[in-house]
Amino acid sequence: MVNSYVHLDIGNTVTRAKAWSGSAQGLRLISSQAIPTPPALEGVDLTESARLAYSEVKATVEGLGERFDPEDILVTVSAAGEPRVACAGVVKGISGESAKRAALSAGATVTDLLAVDDGRLEYQRILDLRRQDISMVVMAGGVDEEILGQGRHQLFNVAKVIAEGLPERRGSGNKVPVVYAASLEGREEVVRIFGDSIEVVWTENVRSRLEEENLEPASDAVLSVFSSGMRHDPRFTGLGRFGAAKVFPTGYSIGLAVRRMAESLNQDVMVISLDGDTIQIFSHIRGVFTRTVTPVTRVQAKDVMRWLPSARLGERLDDMLANWKTAPGVLPASWNDLALYLAIQKQALLEAAREHSGTAIELRGIHRQRQIGETFQVGVKGGDTLVRMERIDTVCVTGFLAGLLSPAALLSLVVDTLELHGVTKVYTDRDGILESIAALSGDTAVLTETLLSPSGVILSPGRNEERVGSRWAFMMSGLTPEPLPVKQGEICHVAIETPDSVVFELHPSSKGDVGDGEGRKYAAHANGFSSVYIDARVRGRKIGDRYRENSDAYRALGVFPDDVLSGWERGMK
């Protein structure tokens, strides 16, 4: 039986309405319409754009002669509607970090992390909390067996800060609620500290044992508070016209799709959402899901210069960067502007990737047995990153810009900033499929990989490689492996004549690691791709002419016409 439904995404820049037809064979996009989202000001109904987009989709579907009677409506929100959460824990790097990961996995934006070791005095934490425009606080701290021992007073000190500093909830005179994901044994005293004026949503402890992390109950509680808050927010009262629609933060909806993708492919996956004003990165590595949100305002002009194909372009960089921070949804109108725009995006993505690497970590506060070769490394109590690119088999680019920039430009962002290792399959989600997956029931079999646009397979040097030899990469579409062209320090493009069944094999040096350990050959299948790029630029080495290398990479990836690149190389604007 076909399951038809509508997905409405109320974004910061545009609101999209998509009509889908789903079955056991997969998804079919019937119609997609976009309407500008009004500014998120007090008293403005942000759902008016959703009503207009819905009406246009309805008219389009009926114009095709099909009946428009959706069985379900999914609404995802990122336009001033994603839950803004302040997190609190006893130790910032342990319970505080777990509270933050629980909020992020629910699609929230984390505005602050309060902890006894955050470097602030108690009154400063209270004042900082009062000033924040948040929808809830997520509180963690204390393992269940030990709270009545040494750590008791610290958890209660955190509760006192929250009780004193809790701001009011938008659209009501009540204080924002608290999601309590801390020690079970501390509940009675916390109730006494909070009193009757604070709504508390009780959920399981995110770290009931120091060596375990349980985020799902706290994440579900954040979603529940979010849904309740949307009903009280005057900017979203118009959601009632869509009946009993499912309402999720956009980040949660994409995260759900990422988890399903990793499970269906049985691979480690990373998804990058380019949203204009922020960059979200999602990963599912070794069974651990992580989401981070990085604002674009952190980008500095001095860091962007490294990504330009010509020094002359830097003369307009300050103006371009200032305009981009003010209006990140405005796209470039010339080749020069596009080069500047991509350079800014690359630096923003690089910083987002670094933040994600620091968040997607092994649990801190526990002892871990290391291998002999790691004996003298620091950090024996956890905290090592899970993000090692040789583990990532699949990368997908989605979000607002994924449907506007060319596939070659998006591929350039991934290749230059993520420091890929080994064999990486890169997809583009041009239709916003990932954020729509959450509307499907769990029993519907959907292989996400078949719904995305294949951009290219990237073959990259492994860790510890100093030089990549000519017989380093092979492609096998039949029984015999054929060597691929490898040019030291450059990117080579090869068309795949039989995209339905291809195997790539990498032969690293004795120290190189391309996914299966140092010195080991690595093979990977890739179906549906028409292009492979052999990136023989060795990571970490000093570059003599950065502008020339950037220009050569753009030429290999097909981002700019050759005459434009030649003009930049000659010093022309």
* Whether 349 contacts 413, CB under 8 Å: yes
Residue 520, classified by CB atoms within 10 Å of its CB into exposed (0-12), middle (13-18) or buried (19+), is: middle
d(CA 565, CA 551): 6
What is the set of domains in the chain, with CATH numbers?
3-80 (3.30.420.40), 84-232 (3.40.50.360), 263-569 (no CATH)
Q: For position 280, what pLDDT does the model report?
A: 93
For residues 380 and 254, the answer to whether their CB atoms sit within 8 Å is no
3-class SS at 254?
helix
In this prediction, the residues of the chain whose per-residue pLDDT falls under 70 are 1-3, 22-27, 40-42, 79-81, 144-152, 171-172, 244-245, 364-383, 438-450, 463-464, 466, 538-544, 572-573
Of 106, 370, 81, the closest CA to residue 231 belongs to: 81
Which pLDDT belongs to residue 152? 62
H or E element that contains 279: strand 278-285
The torsion angle over the Cα atoms of residues 465, 495, 334 and 17, rounded to 10 degrees, is: -100
pLDDT, residue 61, reads 87
Q: In the 8-state DSSP scheme, what is residue 241?
A: G
* DSSP conformation letters of 397-435: EESGGGGTS-HHHHHHHHHHHS---EEEEEEE-TT-HHH
**What are the DSSP calls for 165-197, one per residue?**
H--BPTTSSSBPPEEE-S-GGGHHHHHHHH-SS
* pLDDT score at 59: 92
> What pLDDT score does 291 carry?
93
